[in-house]
Each structure stands twice: as C-alpha cells, then as structure tokens.
Structure 1
Amino acid sequence: MPGTLYAALKHFAITACLLAACLAAKTARAQDIEPRAYSNAPVGVNFFIAGGVATRGGLSLDSLPITNADLRTTSTVVAYARVFDLRGRSGKFDMIVPYTHLRGTADYQGQSVERDISGFGKPAFRVSVNFFGAPALGLREFRAWKQDLIVGASLQVSPPWSQYDPGRIVNIGSNRWSFKPEVGVSKALGSWTLEAQAAAVFFTDNRDFYRGRTRSQDPLYSLQGHVIYGFASGVWTSFDVTYFAGGRSEIDGVVGNDLQQNWRVGATLAMPLGRLDSIKFSASSGVSARTGNNFDAIGMAWQHRWGAGL
C-alpha cells in the first residue's frame, strides 16, 4: 500500500472513532456525552458497532417520578452507520438497538418498589449533516483534507419499541416517541479540537402510564462541550461536560416536582486497532442533580468499518 494512502487511513482511524463514541452509552439518551459527533469521514464508508455500558446510582430512565433510586443497568448495544453525500456536504445515518438488564430499588409516592427486568431499550435512528467545513469526499480526496471549523446538525428519532409494562412504575422503555434536534460546532487547533453542542428532546405523551394514567413531559434542553487531543499514534482522548435542564412532567394534569438541572462530566479514550477496527472507552459521572438522579456510567465499544475502497 502506498505510504500516503496508509497515512490517510491511519488518520481516518482517528476520526472514524466518532461513531463508537456516540453509540457506546445510550442508556439515558437525554444525558448523552458525545465527543466528535460532527467529524468528517469519507463518503460510502459503513460502520458496525458493538459495545456495552453499565450504570449505577440514581438513574431514573426518562426522568420517571421516582426518588431515592438505586438502579443498576447493563446494556449490550449493536449499531450500524453509513456516511453519505448530501448535495456536496457530508452526512451520516446511524441506527442503534440496545438490550438492557435493569435491577434495583426506588421510592414512588412514599413506597419502595423493586425491579429486575431484561428487555430491548428504545432504538434510535439519526441523520446528521455537516453544513459548513466538511465537504463530501471520497477516500483519496479525504487524505488531503484538513479540518478547520465544522458546523453541523442532526435529528434523532426514538420510537416506543421497547420493553414496557403499564402495571410497573420502573421499566426499560417509556411507551412514547422522542425527537432530538441538535446543532454542533467543531474547531481544530493543531492537535487539539474544541467542540460544543446544543440540543432539545421533545416527547409525545404516554397515554398508558402506570395504572392507566397519562404522563406528559416538557422538552429537555442540553448543552455539552469537549476538549479533545489527538496523538500522533492515532489515539485520541477527550474531557467532556454536559448540562441539561427542563423536562418537568405531568401525570393526569398534576405537575411533578421533577424539573431537571443537572451537570455531568466524563472522559473518553479511543484507539485504532489496525486499519479497519477501533475501540473506545468512556466513563462519566454526575456532578450535581436537582432531582437526585445522579449516576455513574462506564462503557466500551468496538467498531469495524468497510466500503468506499478501504
């Protein structure tokens, strides 16, 4: 293989880890920490991702109206993604399916409830487009491209195709649709990259909530930032922080005391494994939470890519 093409593929191993980063830890989607979400990649490349994530603490899935939660989850995640050309701009489509085991206890209206259940979590489908600074490129053109400023946007849709029992207060799924539009900015400064993202999650009503009631929820807004450093070896690491607020819920018109105002921090380490594979490790923890739903999370994902002449 010519040296220039090998160097391009080695550089691509760094940028391609972005999809492992976004798909490794999707247990609590409104609280995702996702570096390199809008990095560029060659058109026509496909990705298969398999990973796992474990959480422990006050995790209340989709901000359920519970308190004193001590819940643990372990999830297996599989996903597929593809880079495409949208009128000269690079875009990505990805889909993810998690399978989760949840166990632990929580309080609901002064009573302790216990749960031990396994099932499919909410799948997610996302389309993202880089509007500025990341043109659609083939593999050979991509090797000569250098990132400066990238501006992109995405829309993620999660249907209610997951485990749900209306007779139980704690479930893996939430029996409703969610929609997450997001905008992101990524600026390269030598070996460093600075990123920021802003998003909102909108929810439909769950009309079969616990014992036949209707639960609605206000949008949940989030901001996140990342400081990323890329090493000459192809390894990259990042420090991540996110803040999310909103999401107050109502049950049959009764407003809950569950307004979210939470901070989380995390770190990510990604490494290429040869020419076509990469692996990523991530960890995050709650710093503060208005509603007591802080939790710790640790994840790992392996990624294989093919297509576009690799």
Structure 2
Amino acid sequence: MRQWKLACLCLFTMMISGQVHAGEAGARAYANAPVGLNVMELLYFQSETSGGAFNSTTKAGMLRYYRYFELFGQAALVGGYIPYASAYITIPALGYYEQVKGISDPTFVIGMDFFGAPAVSFQEFCDYRQDLIIGGSLQVIAPFGRYDKTRILNPGGNRWVFKPELAISQAINDWIFEIYGNYHYFSRNHQYLGNLIHDQKGRWGVDAHISYTLKPGMWVSFDYLRQWSGETSINTRPQGDKVRNTTIGFTANIPLFKSNAIQLEYRDDVKTRSLSQSRSFSFRFQQMW
C-alpha cells in the first residue's frame, strides 16, 4: 500500500511542477516585438485533477518580467518569473490528505528569433508585418523554492529542469499558424523523502496553435499540446508513470489600454495514459513600457 501511495504522490509531484511553471510557451510566444520593450505580468493559475487514484487542486500566483533586445540583428528576449503555489491532494482509497504552500522554483528564459523577426525600434515596429518566423528558447527552472526532504509534496522540486524549444510561426493574413517542439531534461533529486534518489527521464512535447487577429492587439487561439515519455524512478526502481497526454485549450488576448492587456487561458486533458484528467485556467495582467 505504501508503494502505491508513493507512486500516486510521485506522479502528483510531477504534475505540480509542470502546472506551477506552466511549461508551455503559449500562442504567439515567438512574435516580434520592438527592442527595448519591457513586460511585467501578474498571473493567477488554477488546476484541478480528478479521476484515477487521487484528486488534487493547485493554485499559484506568479510575478513575471521580460525584456526584448537585439541579438545578431534579430529580436530576442530574456526574463523570468517567481511562483507562489498552494496545492492539496486526497487519495480516497487510503483516506490520505496533504496540503502544501510556499514559494516554488523560479524560472529563467532566454529566447531568440533566428529568422523573420528583425530587431526594430518602436517607430519601425509600426510598419512590421509578420511572414515566417523561426525561433528558439531555453527555459531553466532552478531549485531555489521551498523544499522539505521529509515530505512528499513540496512547492519546490529540488532539481534543475532544462527545456530547449524550437518554433515555427507562419502568418497568413489575420491568421497565425505555429508549432513548437520541446524537450524537458530533469536532474536528479538526491533528497527525496530523506535519502532516496528521485530520477526522471526526459519528456518530449509538441505544441500547436492556430490564432486569429480580431483587431490590433486582440486575438484568440486554439491550442493543442502533446507530451510523452518522462517516466520516473526511485532508487533506480521504475514507477511505471510514463506521460502520454493530449491537451486542448483556448487563449484570448484582450488589450485594455495602449500599454495594458489581459490574457485568459483554458486547458483540458482529452487523453491521458492514467485515468486522471486535469483542467486548468489562468488569468494574466500585462503592463508594457
């Protein structure tokens, strides 16, 4: 029974990490922007998982900042964000309940468009029109969040995560078609439940987005996400928890004023390897200058 509980909570720990950090780049993440643009975001995220062996809820608030600059004549950005997370899990068959809250692991990202997004000033950006963009990014999650090695659930993961990604974005009139390919590499946690070693194989992912511009700054997107692999092990013993998820969702970006916007996202698992399914919603407020 203890082994079953470990497997359930090990899977949930993976889910917290992915949910809190909202691992996907999102629609129009590689769109061009003027050099020198600063963006500050306040984000609220909530996810619920039900079915299978456990039920869970994760809530997080995040502060995010990034800045655009020129790199080899193309647009690039650097930034990061810090989440504060609250999560709880119940396993009805075991009568088990646990709750955790605290600062999660910070995330840092650097991205660059290799083709199709020339570095431009604010004045020049008014005349820019997207065609084909090819870009890439590297996201790094650092193990600086709250972590207690005596607990199974923690806001922090006590491990490094690296996510390289390549992206293609094609604009056709008011439509933009995008596809991203990414890979998550996880370092080992040598302090899992004290002195156990928690390891996870790499996880592959493909994100696709079809978005339509309603008017300048206002757009909606249909989102498709696919992830697979990423099995975990404890002291080299496989846990049989490979990921094979298909998720769909929608995104809406709504400008408020010249330098403000809000963005709404909804995600729903339509196919998973396990019996559990997750639904999530996020709201973000953007301030640009």
Q: Which residue of 2 aligns with 1:48?
A: 40
Structure 2 residue aligned with 1:191: 174
Please report how far the alpha carbon of residue 163 of structure 1 lies from its aligned counterpart in structure 2 after TM superposition. 2.1
- 1:122-133 aligned at under 5 Å gives the runs 122-133=105-116
Distance in 1, matches of 2:191 and 2:28, equals 37
Question: Which residue pairs with 2:6 in the alignment?
Answer: none
- Pair 1:240–1:152, CA change in 2 (3 A): same
Residue 30 of structure 1, CA deviation: 7.1
Partner of residue 208 from structure 1, selected from 187, 191, 200: 191
1:223-248 CA-to-partner distances (Å, cap 9, x unmatched) read 01001000125320000010000101
Give the C-alpha shift of residue 94 in structure 1. 1.6
**Following superposition of structure 1 onto structure 2, how do residues 229-240 of structure 1 map, counting pairs within 5 Å?**
229-232=212-215, 234-240=217-223
Moved more, 146-155 or 283-292: 283-292
1:68 aligns with 2:60: no
Partner of 1:90: 75
Q: CA separation in 1, counterparts of 2:242 and 2:34?
A: 41
Give deviations 1:81-138, integer Å, cap 9, x for gaps.
Answer: 100000211001120111011122148xx84532112101121100000000001100
Farther off after superposition, 290-299 or 142-151: 290-299
Aligned-partner Cα distance in 1 for 2:24–2:65: 18
**Counterpart position of 1:32:** 24
Deviations 1:265-289 (A, max 9, x none): 1100111111110101111011111
Secondary structure at the residue paired with 2:54?
Answer: strand
8 Å contact from structure 1 (residues 33, 242) kept in 2? no
Q: Per the alignment, in what secondary structure is the counterpart of residue 173 of structure 1?
A: coil
Residues in 2 aligned to 1:174 and 1:232: alpha-carbon distance in whole angstroms? 41
What displacement does 1:172 show?
Answer: 2.1
**For the residues of structure 2 that align with 1:174 and 1:234, how far apart are their CA atoms?**
36
Give the structure 2 partner of residue 139 of structure 1.
122
Per-residue deviation at 1:167? 1.6
Could you tell me how far apart the structure 2 residues matched to 1:165 and 1:113 are? 19
1-side partners of 2:60 and 2:210: how far apart? 27
Matches within 5 A, 1:1-310: 27-29=19-21, 32=24, 34-58=26-50, 68-106=53-91, 111-232=94-215, 234-306=217-289
Cα distance between partner residues in 1 of 2:58 and 2:224 = 22
Question: Does the 8 A contact of 2:21 with 2:83 survive in 1?
Answer: no
How far apart, in 1, do the equivalents of 2:217 and 2:125 lie?
16
SS in 2 for 1:103: strand
Larger relative contact order (C-alpha < 8 A, sep ≥ 6)?
Answer: 1
Q: How far off its partner does 1:58 sit? A: 4.7
Q: Deviations over 1:187-235 (max 9, x none)?
A: 0010110000000000000000123200111000000100100012532
Aligned length: 273
- Give 5+ residue unaligned stretches, structure 1: 1-24, 60-66
Displacement, 1:69?
2.4
Q: Secondary structure at the match of 1:128?
A: strand
Q: Is the 8 A contact 1:43 1:138 kept in 2?
A: yes
TM-score (norm 2): 0.90
SS across alignment from 2:53: strand
Gaps of 5+ in 2: 1-16
SS in structure 1 at match of 2:36? coil
Structure 1 residues 30 and 230: CA distance shift in structure 2, 3 A:
closer
Identity of aligned residues (%): 29
How far did 1:258 drift?
A: 0.5
SS state at 2:180 partner? strand
Offset of residue 28 of structure 1: 4.7
Tell me if the contact between 1:101 and 1:116 (Cα under 8 Å) persists in the aligned partners: yes
Superposed CA RMSD in Å reads 1.9
- 1:49–1:34 Cα change, 3 Å: same
Task: Assess if the C-alpha contact under 8 Å between 2:107 and 2:139 holds in 1.
Answer: yes
User: What TM-score, normalized to structure 1?
Assistant: 0.84
- Deviation by residue 1:149-168 (Cα, 9 ceiling, x = unmatched): 00000000001111222222
CA distance in 1 between counterparts of 2:96 and 2:30 reads 41
| Partner Cα distance (1:78, 1:224) in 2 | 24
Query: Residues 198 and 112 (structure 1 numbering): CA distance in 2 closer, same or farther, change over 3 Å?
Result: farther
Question: Alignment partner of 1:169: what SS?
Answer: coil
85-94 vs 164-173, which moves further: 164-173
SS in 2 for 1:145: coil
